[in-house]
Chains A and B, each alone.
Chain A
């Protein structure tokens, strides 16, 4: 008995030693790597909402030691020791409440290479709350193929995540990203492709499976948005071709060889097409409603020989009237942002729900910006038509796939800053005067989460409430219901 006891103690001690001794090697870090800041995620001088989950991070200096971090705001001071700064939720909530509308002052001290190091930085805490839910698709960078896709909904106020659709319940089919309409949790949609698939429309928590296609359309619907009145949706139909770049670090290119616009009437199960937006000599794509629903913004470019002329394929941003009574797209289209004048290409227009701003992506050319490093976000003040400076937001890698919060005060977007390969969700605040703040990345419980993540957060989309369904509901809908046909 005594011998067994000794063996047990030795085993226990070994396990303890092993678990304590295991620390994460943070190398490589520094200039030229994907960890250039002294902390990761880099939360220096970011602006955060007063309802965000704790900002956990770690110090990247491989030679650093004796790390000590002091957070101070509104008479509250909290000290955390160690390389990994991981918050207790109640401490974070207390600090955030004390700092709302002001700054958290942070003092990072420690030793590096034997020398003492002290740094001071701040986190600005905005009183404007952010919509507390974010949906995104988790996908490996896979060149138009997929395996084990998940669409998740994350509660931004804590670290809770749930699957609203996943490969286990969809037979490992392809799924396209989930989008809210005007940031509403009760109005959203996404696609499940392939056999028994369809567009999954969520209106007031009631799910429908729709076949958004008629015989005249060149493909099923691809990109689109739901009208604020819920009855209509505007979509593009695209013939999409994947291709590769031989050099230049752009990896994959995706282009359309045809694309048109159409309108879906969800009440009468009808697809509507119009001559102005179904021209063979013009590619039309990425339609989005204005906040009041009276216009549709979309991207348009003259048809070209592709892929030979891919670097001359530049899309303008145009606007066309929309009649919310009949679902009719009017004519003619006004050019809002001219590709010919600017020598760039635009995609993904998204109007803020308060009607003030239009956010879109600008790249050197083409219609698939996620592998274009130069791809940046661009914002227009719709009350004046002027462009807002977003230099505080954009990075040296692709910044795109943005969405607005329901009050138009925050936006989320996917950025490949850092490694250039894996998209991560970032958030920026917009003031009424058009000041846009340095973005912060979605906080995670484990500060090393993004180090090990080999999937991209695709199309992060803000919602003011949880969507009223889960992966099991979607699975049952796919299995049990036939897709409603549209004519």
Chain B
């Protein structure tokens, strides 16, 4: 063989390997969250492609939301969610990140809201494994460990490898919060034997908790229900009421309950659940005005009791005037009132196919 031939013999495979590496690097640069979500599921990129197909812009965005939420990087979740893609998963994390900043109600009407499914992802026969894997994040944030644990277990059950740090971490933490160290130790041991998770697991051993982690667990424990009630698998309203009766100062649970009432257009439930001394928002004022107008309660006393401000009342009157003039049509209301609860209440239509 000539010298040139010999050179070609080793240059060709090296060039091929370089090309593969370049393609792989380009892939990782373009889809960083795909890789991170695959790692959270304990699978390689190849396995991830097999399980979930080739990533798209949409899936990369959704994986990003799930990854950043699992790390509780709420600013990054907000930034990702700002790309409103009219998807349930986007709304779910948009609402959750706002709730973590105490702004759930204030920003609820700024975004696409697919009724209550933007607050709690349904877990059922028609749910995708991805949504099931994400469904427990809100329950963990609210301090309701039974469903946070259930959804982590179901997420793991439907994940490609039937395991993965994403689920094992959550399962370890839910049990640390409930004080079930025996259960937590099962998950911590598995994580400890995974090189990437070793440090995380070590820091969760109860005798190694840092002051900030002790505080985190204490805060979660404060939110836990103090009494046992057997309820259906996905009765969000009942669960939120259980949380609130054990801890009336759980403002996040209260806002979720009130927003749930409003997104399901259940104003009677809203009025029953709403205590203006515990939480406030323009959204609640707007909802109260619909209720008061319907029940003949438009009095100064009621406005004062429900903290309804003058500007909100004036805006409501303007909305009603246009609404009546146009015989209930939306066309002249969209520009000025699309971000109001009144607009949602009268014009949002549930897609029954979902």
> Which residue, A35, A142, A244, A253, has most C-beta atoms of chain B within 10 A?
A244
Contact between B178 and A249, CB atoms less than 8 A apart: yes
Provide the B236-276 mask, 1 if CB < 8 A to any CB of A, else 0.
00010010000000000000000000000000000000000
Contact between B157 and A145, CB atoms less than 8 A apart: yes
In the assembled complex, the CB of A425 is this many whole angstroms from the nearest CB of chain B, namely 17
Contact between A243 and B154, CB atoms less than 8 A apart: no
A310 on interface, CB distance cutoff 8 Å = yes
Q: Which stretch of A25-33, A101-109, A427-435, A470-478 is in the interface?
A: A25-33
Contact between B185 and A35, CB atoms less than 8 A apart: yes
Q: Which of A16-58 contact B (CB under 8 A)?
A: 24-29, 32-35
Question: Which residues of A lie under 8 Å from residue B150 when comparing CB positions?
Answer: 143, 244, 251-252
28 contacts between A and B (CB under 8 A): A25-B189, A25-B193, A26-B189, A27-B205, A28-B185, A28-B189, A29-B185, A32-B181, A33-B181, A33-B182, A143-B153, A143-B154, A143-B233, A147-B157, A147-B162, A148-B162, A243-B231, A245-B229, A246-B227, A249-B180, A251-B150, A253-B230, A307-B231, A418-B186, A419-B182, A420-B180, A452-B190, A454-B163
Contact between A246 and B225, CB atoms less than 8 A apart: yes
In the assembled complex, the CB of B217 is this many whole angstroms from the nearest CB of chain A, namely 15
In the assembled complex, the CB of A28 is this many whole angstroms from the nearest CB of chain B, namely 4
Question: Which residues of A lie under 8 Å from residue B69 when comparing CB positions?
Answer: none
Contact between B230 and A243, CB atoms less than 8 A apart: yes
> What number of B residues sit within 8 Å (CB to CB) of A?
39
Question: Which residues of B lie under 8 Å from residue A25 when comparing CB positions?
Answer: 189, 192-193, 198
Provide the A236-258 mask, 1 if CB < 8 A to any CB of B, else 0.
00000011111111111100000
- Contacts A25-B193, A249-B178 given; does A244 touch B154 at CB 8 Å: no
Contact between A244 and B231, CB atoms less than 8 A apart: yes
Q: How far is the CA of A351 from the CA of B333 in the complex (A)?
A: 74
Q: How far is the CA of A147 from the CA of B178 in the complex (A)?
A: 27
Question: Which residues of A lie under 8 Å from residue B24 when comparing CB positions?
Answer: none
B43 on interface, CB distance cutoff 8 Å = no
In the assembled complex, the CB of A66 is this many whole angstroms from the nearest CB of chain B, namely 22
Q: How far is the CA of A361 from the CA of B227 in the complex (A)?
A: 26
Question: Which residues of B lie under 8 Å from residue A310 when comparing CB positions?
Answer: 230
- Which 8 A-B pairs rank lowest in CB-CB distance, beginning with the nearest? A419-B186, A33-B185, A307-B230, A248-B228, A246-B225, A28-B185, A247-B228, A34-B182
Question: Which residues of B lie under 8 Å from residue A248 when comparing CB positions?
Answer: 228
**Residue in chain B with minimal CB distance to A26:** B189
Provide the B131-158 mask, 1 if CB < 8 A to any CB of A, else 0.
0000000000000101101100110111
Q: Which of A125-162 contact B (CB under 8 A)?
A: 140-143, 145-148
- Option from A249, A418, A451 in Cβ contact (under 8 Å) with B190: A451
Contact between B227 and A421, CB atoms less than 8 A apart: no
Determine chain A's interface SS by DSSP, over half rule.
loop
Question: Which residues of A lie under 8 Å from residue B154 when comparing CB positions?
Answer: 142-143, 145
Provide the B179-200 mask, 1 if CB < 8 A to any CB of A, else 0.
0111101101110110000100
Provide the B206-227 mask, 1 if CB < 8 A to any CB of A, else 0.
1000000000000000001111
Q: Which of A436-485 contact B (CB under 8 A)?
A: 451-452, 454
- Contacts A27-B192, A145-B157, A454-B156 given; does A244 touch B230 at CB 8 Å: yes
Q: Which of B107-149 contact A (CB under 8 A)?
A: 144, 146-147, 149
**Residue in chain B with minimal CB distance to A308:** B230
In the assembled complex, the CB of B142 is this many whole angstroms from the nearest CB of chain A, namely 12
Contact between B157 and A140, CB atoms less than 8 A apart: yes
A283 on interface, CB distance cutoff 8 Å = no
B13 on interface, CB distance cutoff 8 Å = no
Known: A147-B162, A245-B229, A246-B231. 8 other contacts (CB 8 A): A26-B189, A32-B182, A33-B185, A143-B154, A243-B230, A245-B230, A251-B150, A420-B182
> Which residue, B224, B226, B233, has most C-beta atoms of chain A within 10 A?
B233
A422 on interface, CB distance cutoff 8 Å = yes
Contact between A142 and B157, CB atoms less than 8 A apart: yes
B53 on interface, CB distance cutoff 8 Å = no
Q: How far is the CA of A141 from the CA of B163 in the complex (A)?
A: 12
Contact between A147 and B158, CB atoms less than 8 A apart: yes
**Residue in chain A with minimal CB distance to B168:** A454
**Residue in chain B with minimal CB distance to A146:** B157
Q: How far is the CA of A142 from the CA of B186 in the complex (A)?
A: 17
Contact between A140 and B182, CB atoms less than 8 A apart: no
Q: How far is the CA of A252 from the CA of B225 in the complex (A)?
A: 16
Contact between B186 and A34, CB atoms less than 8 A apart: yes
Contact between A419 and B230, CB atoms less than 8 A apart: no
Q: How far is the CA of A257 from the CA of B188 in the complex (A)?
A: 39
> Which residue, B144, B157, B205, has most C-beta atoms of chain A within 10 A?
B157
Contact between B189 and A245, CB atoms less than 8 A apart: no
Contact between B185 and A419, CB atoms less than 8 A apart: yes
In the assembled complex, the CB of A45 is this many whole angstroms from the nearest CB of chain B, namely 22
Q: How far is the CA of A25 from the CA of B183 in the complex (A)?
A: 17
**Residue in chain B with minimal CB distance to A418:** B182
Contact between A419 and B146, CB atoms less than 8 A apart: no
Q: Which of A238-296 contact B (CB under 8 A)?
A: 242-253
- Contacts A27-B205, A243-B230, A244-B233 given; does A422 touch B186 at CB 8 Å: yes
Contact between B192 and A246, CB atoms less than 8 A apart: no
- Option from B156, B185, B228 in Cβ contact (under 8 Å) with A246: B228
Q: How far is the CA of A4 from the CA of B261 in the complex (A)?
A: 71
In the assembled complex, the CB of B187 is this many whole angstroms from the nearest CB of chain A, namely 9
Contact between A419 and B225, CB atoms less than 8 A apart: no
Question: Which residues of A lie under 8 Å from residue B310 when comparing CB positions?
Answer: none
In the assembled complex, the CB of A313 is this many whole angstroms from the nearest CB of chain B, namely 10
Question: Which residues of A lie under 8 Å from residue B296 when comparing CB positions?
Answer: none
- Option from A142, A250, A419 in Cβ contact (under 8 Å) with B153: A142
Question: Which residues of A lie under 8 Å from residue B158 when comparing CB positions?
Answer: 147
B232 on interface, CB distance cutoff 8 Å = yes
In the assembled complex, the CB of A399 is this many whole angstroms from the nearest CB of chain B, namely 15
Question: Which residues of A lie under 8 Å from residue B230 when comparing CB positions?
Answer: 243-246, 253, 307, 310
Question: Which residues of B lie under 8 Å from residue A242 when comparing CB positions?
Answer: 233
Q: How far is the CA of A420 from the CA of B184 in the complex (A)?
A: 10
In the assembled complex, the CB of B346 is this many whole angstroms from the nearest CB of chain A, namely 36
In the assembled complex, the CB of A424 is this many whole angstroms from the nearest CB of chain B, namely 12
- Option from B156, B206, B225, B232 in Cβ contact (under 8 Å) with A140: B156
> Which residue, A24, A29, A33, A251, has most C-beta atoms of chain B within 10 A?
A33
Provide the A385-422 mask, 1 if CB < 8 A to any CB of B, else 0.
00000000000000000000000000000000011111
Contact between A27 and B157, CB atoms less than 8 A apart: no
> Which residue, B146, B189, B229, has most C-beta atoms of chain A within 10 A?
B189
> Which residue, A25, A245, A246, A452, has most C-beta atoms of chain B within 10 A?
A246
Question: Which residues of B lie under 8 Å from residue A148 when comparing CB positions?
Answer: 162
Contact between A28 and B188, CB atoms less than 8 A apart: yes
Contact between A419 and B183, CB atoms less than 8 A apart: yes
Question: Which residues of A lie under 8 Å from residue B181 when comparing CB positions?
Answer: 28, 32-33
